[in-house]
Every structure is written in C-alpha cells, then in structure tokens.
Structure 1
Amino acid sequence: MSKITRREAIGTAALGVAGAALTGGTATIASAQEPVRIAAFAGNHMPKPLRFDPAKLTGLSERLITSHWENNYQGSVRGLNTIETRLAAAMNDADFPPVAYAGLKREELHRTGSVVLHEYYFGALGGNGNPGGSIYEALHSWFGSFEAWEAEFRRTALSLAGGSGWCVLSWNAHTSSLHNYWAWDHMHGAVTGAPLIALDMYEHSYHMDYGTAAARYIDAFMANLDWEVVDARYLAATA
C-alpha cells in the first residue's frame, strides 16, 4: 500500500468536516421530507474484473497485480461511492458549509480519476507487447517512428519515478493529435485527452516486485501490453 500523501490527508480532513455537517446541526432539515435522488451521485460504482490471469503476466507477479487491483483500485471505487453519497446528501442540505463542499468536490475528482485510470491500466494488460494496427502507424506519423514514441513515453514515465502520477498516451480531441501526458495525482491530464495507454507510476504499482527500479517495471508493463486493445481505443477516440 502507498503512504498517505499530504493531499490525501487534506482530503480526509475535509471529509471529516463534511461528515460532521451531515450528522449534526442544519443537516437534519431533510428528515421531514424524502431526499431527492440524484443520478449523478448514485454511489453505485462496481469494480471491473481483470480480463487476464494475473499469474500469467511476464515480469509482473500475481501478488503485485492482485494487491494493486484489490487494494488500490477497489479502494478508489469504494471511496468514490462514499464521496458521491455524501455529495447527494449535501445537495439536499441548503446550509451545507462551502468549505466542506470544496473538500468533497476535490475528492470526487481525485477518486474519479483514480478509478478511470486504473481501469484503463488493467484493461490494456494481458497481451504480448507486440505493437500493430492503426495506432502503430499513427505513432510513427506523430513521433517520427514508433521507437521515438516509445522512448518519449518511457522518459515521461521515468520522470514520475519516486513520486506519484501517471504516464498517459492520449488522443487530444481538441488538437486532433497524439501525446504522452504527465498526469499527477489522478487528475492533471489534458482536458480533452482520451486515454489510450495509462501507466501507473505510483510506487504501489511496482515496489513489491522492483523496489525503486522503476525502469524495470516499465519494461515489464510494455511487455504485457495488449496492442489490440490500444488500437481499438484509438479507433474509437478518432471515429
């Protein structure tokens, strides 16, 4: 499990304030009426199962993948459901404190990003790492060669080693172009970027197998990419 960051500590404090507001004071005004149900804050997200056998990946242990999927990813799913439930309650409380609402909205963005990026991460594993398809030709076109793209992708990922964040190959719908984006804290990607490959560079994603040897983890990730999945994402994003 990863260490608690300063941002997570701030978010936890904000949730404590929000929880207090929901259990006392003016939050009880909704007791006389049935709370309005809000579809946007249904809080019913379910974890997606792995599409591959975690015991059969190359260079990524079953123990690492299982821990990552069960603890980090599913923890974010549960966290997002909790946040949405509290946002729904807050919308039924006209006197809910703005400072507490700000904490909930920050956590909503953080948890949403974590859930989405983890699903892109796990969803592209289970392949043999051999590139092909339209995405191969597109990367050659945008970066001069596939090899040049891969070198830049790896460099971007390594720039996050020892810290926290994601390296994301995205199709930017606004500029109609491919880019490797540096995404910190689950929520700093390009606004119109459609993820094609999401590489988790938080230490929890590799420390169990590789310690601080982040470059070896990146090698293993690339060796297990399913490029048919990546190509399908590219075709859908550019359709």
Structure 2
Amino acid sequence: MAFELPKLPYGLDDLNPIISKNTLEFHHGKHHQAYVNNLNNLVKGTKFENADLQTIIKEADGGIFNNGAQVWNHTFYFEAFSKNPQKEPMGKLAEAIERDFGSFAKFKEAFAKAAATLFGSGWAWLVKDAYGHLEIVQESNAGNPIRNGLTPILTCDVWEHAYYLDYQNRRPDYIEAFWQLVDWKVVEQRF
C-alpha cells in the first residue's frame, strides 16, 4: 500500500495571515510530502509494507518510525485548522478541560508553555489517557503519544519549518497565533 499526501481541508490562502500560503506550500507541499515519499521508499520489502500509520508508530523504529510518525503527526496537525473555526471547546471536552486543567484559559497557558519550552524540534500534544483524563505531553522530533498508549486530541508542531517563514525565531508568537486557527469542533470529534 502506497501512502499519499492528504489534501488540506482548506485552500492555501485560507489560513492567512496566521499561516501564510508560502508556509503551507513548504510545510505541507514539501516537508509533509517528503515524509510520505521517504516512508514509501523505506517500507518496501519490510513487514511494514502494508501496515497502517498507527501500526508503524507503535512498532517501527529508525527511519520507518520517524517518517511514518511525521506523516501521521502532520496530517493530524493540519486537519485541526479551519478558515472559520469554532473558537472554544464545548460539551464533554470543555467539561474535561475544566476538570483536568481548571479552566480553558489555564489549559491554553499550560499547552502554550509546553510548546514554547520544548527544546529543539517536536510536538506539544493534548492527549487522553485510558481513563478519559486529559494531559499535555511534549514529544521530541517525530514522537507521537500513540506509542505510549495515549489518544491524541490536539497537537502543535514546533519544528521550525512550521513557523519560520512567517514568524522567524519567534516561536511564542506562532503559538499564540495558533489558537486563532484551531477548530474545536474538529478537536471535540477526536475526544
């Protein structure tokens, strides 16, 4: 089975000025595509040749894991955005955020801190554990919480290629702007 680059659920100009067309062309069209291409080349003739991405995340190591996880991570990241997002969680997710973080504002503050303080490249994640409790985790490089038995709900890509064209070295500014694009309707469906 050959992996393919998923289409974005919005146009290349739709997230501007938060994420520019230029950034999407590089981040999705080049970086994300490179992970897909690399994965397709690496899995040929291996036990992962017909595996799905979650199996690769759980079982693979080295280049197959790195590229497979990055395909999954980027798809998950891009799919959480919308041109006209629902700005806050509602229902059971809103209740869980309040229960586990004290308030939506406190959650955003803790998540932003995790994203801003992750050393080097990687991902900040909102995850659900086996008991339905939410937590924030940091994963370096291609790390994915699925590998630790957690269910991803939301992620923020803090590799420089996610923000450098629009924000240069100002990761905190990118993280602050990130919230303007997150569609909590999508995130609620993952919960």
Cα deviation, residue 188, structure 1:
5.2
Unaligned runs of 5+ in 2: 50-59
Instruction: Look up the SS of the partner of 2:176 in the other structure.
Output: helix
Contact 1:129 1:223 in 2 (8 A): no
Report the structure number with the largest CA radius of gyration.
Answer: 1
The 1:205–1:87 alpha-carbon spacing in structure 2 relative to 1, beyond 3 Å, is same
Matched with 1:71 is 30
Cα deviation, residue 116, structure 1:
0.8
Contact 1:129 1:222 in 2 (8 A): no
Matched with 1:209 is 166
Matched with 2:95 is 137
Q: Deviations along 1:4-45, whole A, 9 cap, x unmatched?
A: xxxxxxxxxxxxxxxxxxxxxxxxxxxxxxxxxxxxxx4x11
Cα deviation, residue 54, structure 1:
2.5
Instruction: Look up the SS of the partner of 1:198 in the other structure.
Output: strand
Matched with 1:116 is 72
Does the alignment pair 1:199 with 2:151? Answer: no
Cα deviation, residue 185, structure 1:
1.4
Contact 1:196 1:233 in 2 (8 A): yes
RMSD over aligned Cα atoms: 2.0
The partner residue of 1:223 within 168, 180, 183 is 180
Cα deviation, residue 47, structure 1:
1.1
Aligned-residue identity in percent: 25
How many residues are matched? 177
**1:53, 1:220 → 2: CA distance?**
18
Q: Deviations along 1:102-150, whole A, 9 cap, x unmatched?
A: xx84111111110111011000011436112221221011111111111
The 1:88–1:138 alpha-carbon spacing in structure 2 relative to 1, beyond 3 Å, is closer
1:14-93, aligned counterparts within 5 Å? 42=1, 44-57=2-15, 58-87=17-46
Instruction: Look up the SS of the partner of 2:128 in the other structure.
Output: strand
Contact 1:143 1:149 in 2 (8 A): yes
Q: TM-score of the superposition, structure 1-length normalised? A: 0.69
Q: TM-score of the superposition, structure 2-length normalised? A: 0.86
Higher relative contact order (CA 8 A, sep 6+): 2
**2:5, 2:93 → 1: CA distance?**
28
